[in-house]
């Protein structure tokens, strides 16, 4: 079987630290050198008031799979980048934080290197990703009635399942956002971080419907070498057990708004999710 996988270029590729990135076949099927970013034109931009967004990124890279191998992941550059472009184009300011202020980890293997808008964004924000704020400090100092923040943004990438779902400070931030009518934005595996709000009964998002990357697709991806093994747990299963319904069954362009939770299904949804988030926030801020 391993010979056949090598022949088809479906064997995950090892990295210097002993983890694996997706196989050449998986990269060909699941990534692209360009994106469908639509240019982010907004005739009316937000000008003042609640015009800031806090984006909570993972600082962890390697996910240990069920078979003991490690998958090299992080924040997905398209799922994070395209919504950023839309929100910035609409006039919002984005503050980047990680749990401790360690660098935000980005899945470089998924970077669309021929997409000028995306690559320029990552050049512009390089220092912010390398030296983000601390989520702990943010929660200690910014959860006030006078806060200029309008949304919490949980970008995609399997890295959202590392550390964030158990982060007590993220739980406090999500509860504060919910109680103070802020929006929460989550795409692909980003909804896994919503589990941080599982403090008390009922779950903060019980009864909500979301778009997210389906567990059923994650179960299939090792077949093409996207991951070196099956994931240690399924975030969709955990959310479902807490009363959350995922409305899509494919890794498609589905986007959804339920109250003040805006969600998207996969990298294919990144442009539509970004535009939906920007337009919804603009309408709320006007």
φ, ψ of residue 51 in degrees (nearest 5):
-125, 15
Does 171 map to a domain?
yes
| 13 in a structural domain | no
Mean pLDDT of the residues in the chain = 95
Looking at residue 47, what is its pLDDT? 82
pLDDT digits (tens, 9 = 90+) for 210-242: 999 999 999 999 999 999 999 999 999 999 999
2 pLDDT band, cuts 50/70/90, is: low
Residue 29 domain flag: no
Residue 68 included in any domain:
yes
What's the CATH code of the domain at 221?
3.40.50.880
**The pLDDT value given to residue 9:** 83
d(CA 167, CA 108): 25
Cα gap 277→242, rounded to integer Å: 25
- Which residues belong to the active site? 188
Q: Output the pLDDT for position 218.
A: 97
Share of residues in the chain with pLDDT > 70 (%): 97
Q: Is 103 exposed, middle or buried (0-12, 13-18, 19+ CB in 10 A)?
A: middle
Selection from 190, 268, 223 nearest residue 11 by Cα = 223
Torsion of CA 188, 55, 178, 255, to 10 degrees: -30
User: Is 10 among the domain residues?
Assistant: no
Query: Does residue 128 lie within any of the structural domains?
Result: yes
Tens of pLDDT, residue by residue over 147-201, are 999 999 999 999 999 999 999 999 999 999 999 999 999 999 999 999 999 987 7
For residue 134, the enclosing domain spans: 44-285
pLDDT at residue 1 above 80?
A: no
| Ramachandran angles phi, psi of 255, nearest 5° | -130, 155
Give Cβ neighbours of residue 4 (< 8 Å, ≥ 6 apart). Answer: 10
Q: How many domains does the chain have?
A: 1
């Amino acid at each position: 079987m391993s010979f056949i996988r090598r022949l088809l270029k479906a064997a995950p590729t090892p990295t210097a630290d002993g983890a694996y990135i997706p196989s050449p076949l998986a990269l060909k099927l699941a990534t692209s050198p360009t994106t469908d970013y639509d240019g982010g034109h907004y005739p009316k931009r937000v000008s003042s008031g609640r015009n800031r967004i806090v984006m909570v990124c993972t600082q962890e890279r390697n996910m240990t799979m069920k078979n003991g191998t490690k998958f090299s992941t992080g924040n997905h550059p398209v799922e994070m980048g395209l919504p950023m472009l839309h929100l910035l184009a609409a006039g919002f300011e984005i503050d980047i934080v990680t749990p401790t202020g360690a660098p935000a980890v980005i899945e470089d293997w998924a970077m669309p290197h021929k997409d000028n808008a995306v690559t320029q964004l990552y050049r512009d924000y390089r220092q912010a990703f390398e030296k983000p704020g601390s989520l702990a400090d943010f929660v200690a100092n910014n959860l006030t009635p006078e806060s200029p923040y309008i949304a919490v943004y949980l970008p995609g990438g399997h890295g959202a399942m590392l550390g964030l779902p158990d982060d007590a400070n993220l739980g406090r931030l999500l509860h504060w956002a919910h109680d103070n009518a802020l929006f929460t934005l989550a795409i692909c595996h980003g909804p896994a971080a919503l589990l941080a709000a599982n403090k008390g009964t009922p779950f903060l998002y019980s009864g909500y419907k979301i778009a997210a990357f389906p567990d059923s697709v994650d179960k299939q991806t090792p077949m093409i070498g996207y991951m070196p093994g099956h994931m240690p747990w399924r975030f969709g299963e955990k959310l479902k057990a807490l009363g959350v319904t995922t409305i899509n069954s494919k890794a498609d362009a589905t986007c959804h708004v339920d109250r003040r939770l805006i969600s998207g299904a996969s990298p294919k949804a990144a442009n539509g999710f970004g535009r939906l988030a920007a337009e919804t926030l603009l309408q709320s801020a006007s």
